[in-house]
Amino acid sequence: MNDFGKKINIEVLTEFVPSHSSDEENKYFFAYSVTIQNNSELNVQLVSRHWKIINSNGKIKDVSGLGVVGEQPIIYPGEIYSYTSATELDTPVGEMYGKYSMETEYGDLFETDIPKFNLIMPRSLH
């Protein structure tokens, strides 16, 4: 089952949220939408998550917990599960990546990588 995680496809889209951000307070808020597709032949359940959130100074924040957005979804073969969450950085640029711990319908545990993605506050010319 070591390669089982490769049958789970994960895509992430990010969006800077200016209404929750402040240059003066070094608060930069980003929403991220995750799409998880089960390309295997078995039902899988997302059990937990582990994120590494890195600011542009290299400071790493680890975030772990059960499920995502209060759910531990079961994703059926060929199905897609999507959710949106958010994080705050103290720099206008950073990145995130991590792992989901998942379980097949037969109780086999495996991990799947969440690919690294950038968090970038857009700069506008005045």
Residue 39 belongs to a domain: yes
Q: Which domain holds residue 65?
A: 4-120
**What pLDDT score does 78 carry?**
96
Instruction: Count how many Cα atoms sit within 13 Å of the Cα of residue 11 in the half-sphere of its side chain.
Output: 7
Quote the CA–CA distance of 93 and 57 in Å, as a whole number.
9
- Over range 36-56, report the average pLDDT: 97
Judge residue 100's burial from the number of C-beta atoms within 10 Å of its C-beta, 0-12 exposed, 13-18 middle, 19 or more buried: buried
**Number of structural domains the chain divides into:** 1
pLDDT for 2 equals 53
pLDDT at 6: 85
At residue 104, the pLDDT reads 96
Predicted local distance difference test score (pLDDT) of residue 123:
83
Q: Is residue 104 part of a domain?
A: yes
In a domain, 125, yes or no: no
In a domain, 27, yes or no: yes
In a domain, 52, yes or no: yes
Mean pLDDT of the chain: 94
Confidence of residue 1 (pLDDT cuts 50, 70, 90): very low
- Domain-embedded: residue 126: no
Length of the chain: 126
> What CATH number does the domain containing 85 carry?
2.60.40.1470
Each residue's pLDDT tens digit, 60-113: 999 999 999 999 999 999 999 999 999 999 999 999 999 999 999 999 999 999
Residue 50 lies in a domain: yes
